[in-house]
Amino acid sequence: MNTQEVIELYNQYVIGNYGRLPKVIVQGKGNIMIDLEGNQILDLFPGWAVSGIGHCHPRVVEAVQKQAAQLLHMDNTFYTLPQGQLAKLLSERSFGGKCFFCNSGAEANEAALKLARKYTAKGKYKIITAEKSFHGRTFGAVTATAQPKYHDGFMPLVPGFEYVPFNDIQALTEAFDEEVAAVMIEPIQGEGGINPATAEYMHTIRNLCDEAGAVMILDEVQTGMGRTGKWFAYQHFDVVPDIITLAKALGGGVAIGAMIAKPEIAAALVPGTHASTFGGNPLACAAGIAVIEAVEAEHLLENAQRMGDYARSKLNELKAKYPIIEGIRGIGLMIGIQLNSPGAGIVSRCLEKGLRINCTQDTVLRFMPSMTITAEELDRAIAILDEVLAEEAKK
Ligand SMILES: *Cc1c(COP(=O)(O)O)cnc(C)c1O
């Protein structure tokens, strides 16, 4: 089959709910993906932040192969080694919480929302989330996602949600009352355009939740697992949340989600209250363990920090050259390039030249390279972007 034939297969048999770029990817290795024609593409957005330590990291591949041969799946009627071990590793690297495992970011957020309502006192039900947030596509998660474009056509949504502008302390304070069960935000909004929370905002959420007996939930589905140079983005702020949610990079390419909750809150999820058939299966958990081991053995937190700073300094040089760039935002390897006009054409031109990046919110180019990215790879990426921006500037 050639590329056109695969595209026709999709057109006939796959629901068209994604806008896809016209390439068939057959292989991934580190920061490179290879298409059906054998072209190599430098991937600065691997797996939409899922391949956080690069495509097919050898440690993950080995762990998955070994686990697949031993025990692919076991239901939660029993105990398995990988689930317990992964929970311990996550707990020790965060705030000593307990884990619930599922299969995606949306499911992790559903678990957090349900737990917040179950745990808080009678009469509390309201969930406050921020404008431009992204929390997933299931009904609870999409209701939490305070962007009208994701709600259009799906009304009525889940009751009891309230939206406030991100980083607006006054609006949040005014929205608080005795009925609030939880606040849920991303420490750095990803899909919303790489918008970091301010330290003051994070502390305000913590204080308001403490005063009201509400739960502070951080959605770390995109920011988690080291991308920002720390295991979890909240660790850049001097706050401890009650619950964090994870997915994307957690399995290094294998589907897995997790919620970590403080033990006293987690205790509300007694048998019968919540579950996931595939959640915490040995295959996914073995992959998660391998990711954590790889990050530590290869010092990838340090690399994420260093390469993030390097990329931002290089991008600031481009900013000085091209007026289309208004600003560079982000922490570690979560980088947003604010343009003053739409970026979709730039993404397409970069891909034609062998570089994959992303654009979100129309005008924000997004770099989320793997934590294994090197300075040479970033140089190559920035040289391509430079070329494309130079062409754009001539138009
Ligand atoms: C991707 C994402 C989700 C949704 O994850 P799925 O695995 O697609 O359900 C939720 N929150 C954030 C911050 C995300 O980036």
Q: Say how far apart CA 385 and CA 44 lie, in whole Å.
A: 12
Q: Is 78 a catalytic residue?
A: no
The structure tokens 């205790």 sit at 267
293: buried, middle or exposed (CB in 10 Å: 19+, 13-18, 0-12)? Answer: middle
Q: Which atom of ligand 1 is nearest to the CA of 255?
A: 7
Active site residue: 23, 132, 248, 262, which one? 248
The residue to which tokens 């349900």 are assigned: 114
pLDDT of 121: 87
Expressed in angstroms and rounded, the spacing between residue 262 Cα and the centre of ligand 1 is 22
Question: Does 38 lie in the same domain as 109?
Answer: no
Residues 156 and 191 in one domain: yes
The DSSP result for 165-218, as a single string, is: -TT-HHHHHHH--TTEEEEEE-SEETTTTSEEPPHHHHHHHHHHHHHHT-EEEE
Does 291 lie in the same domain as 265?
Answer: yes
Helices and strands of the chain, counted as H and E runs = 13, 17
Question: Mean pLDDT of residues grouped by 10 in the chain (395 residues)?
Answer: 97 97 97 97 98 98 98 98 98 98 98 98 96 98 98 98 98 97 98 98 98 98 98 97 98 98 98 98 98 98 98 98 97 98 97 97 98 98 98 92
What pLDDT, on the 0 to 100 scale, is given for residue 283?
98
- pTM reported for the whole predicted model: 0.98
SS3 content of the chain, % helix, strand, coil (to 5): 40, 20, 40
Q: Which atom of ligand 1 is nearest to the CA of 104?
A: 7
CA 109 to chain centre: 12
To test the pocket of ligand 1, the residue of 18, 186, 191, 248 to mutate (highest count of ligand atoms within 8 Å of its CB) is 248
End-of-domain residue from the set 241, 263, 297:
297
Q: Which secondary-structure segment (H or E) carries 257?
A: strand 257-261
Task: Please report the sign of the dihedral spanned by the C-alpha atoms of residue 216, residue 221, residue 222, residue 228.
Answer: positive
Of these residues, 166, 219, 237, 262, which one is catalytic?
Answer: 219
Distance, in Å, from the CA atom of 343 to the CA atom of 58, rounded to the nearest integer, reads 34
Same structural domain for residues 321 and 281?
no
**Which residues fall within 8 angstroms of residue 27, CB to CB, at 6 or more apart?**
33, 34, 55
Instruction: Give yes or no: residues 269 and 305 share one domain.
Output: no
Domain stops at, among 297, 313, 347: 297
Same domain membership, residue 380 and residue 242:
no
Do 164 and 289 share a domain, yes or no? yes
Structure tokens at 370: 């793997």
Ligand 1 pocket: which of 135, 217, 246 to mutate (most atoms <8 Å of CB)? Answer: 135
Q: Residue 29 C-alpha to ligand 1 middle, in angstroms?
A: 24
192 lines ligand 1 (CB under 6 A): no
Query: How many domains in the chain?
Result: 2
Is there a catalytic annotation at residue 149? no
The domain that holds 24 is classified in CATH as 3.90.1150.10
- With a 6 A CB cut-off, is 47 part of the ligand 1 pocket? no
Report whether residue 334 contacts ligand 1, using a CB cutoff of 6 Å.
no
Encode 280-340 in three state secondary structure: CCHHHHHHHHHHHHHHHHCCHHHHHHHHHHHHHHHHHHHHHHCCCEEEEEEECCEEEEEEC
Clarify whether residues 103 and 225 are in a common domain. Answer: yes
Q: Clarify whether 45 is annotated catalytic.
A: no
Q: What residue owns the CA closest to ligand 1's atom 5?
A: 105
The residues facing 16 across adjacent strands are none
In this structure, the residue with its CA closest to atom 10 of ligand 1 is: 135
Question: What distance in Å separates the CA atoms of residue 47 and residue 253, rounded to the nearest whole number?
Answer: 8
- How is residue 236 annotated by DSSP? G
Show Cβ contacts of residue 121 under 8 Å, excluding neighbours closer than 6 positions. 213
- Closest residue CA from atom 6 of ligand 1: 105
| Separation of first and last alpha carbons in the chain | 37
CA geometry: angle 278, 95, 253, nearest 5 deg? 35
Quickly list DSSP for 327-377.
EEEEETTEEEEEESS--HHHHHHHHHTTEE-EEETTTEEEE---TT--HHH
Q: Are residues 263 and 307 in the same domain?
A: no
Ligand 1, residue 138: give the atom nearest the CA: 9
305 with 263, same domain: the answer is no
Distance 187 CA to ligand 1 centre (A): 13
Q: Which of 297, 315, 331 is the last residue of a domain?
A: 297
Do 247 and 167 have their domain in common?
Answer: yes
CATH, residue 246? 3.40.640.10
Q: Provide the pLDDT for residue 387.
A: 98
- 110 CB less than 6 Å from ligand 1? no
- 88 Cβ contact list (under 8 Å, min separation 6): none
Lookup: tokens for 46:
């691997």
Give the pLDDT of residue 76: 98
CA–centroid distance, 383 to ligand 1, in Å, is 30
Give the domain range for residue 356: 3-53+299-393
The number of residues in the chain equals: 395
219 close to ligand 1 (CB < 6 Angstrom) = yes
Ligand 1 atom with minimal separation from the 222 CA: 15
Domain shared by 236 and 131, yes or no: yes
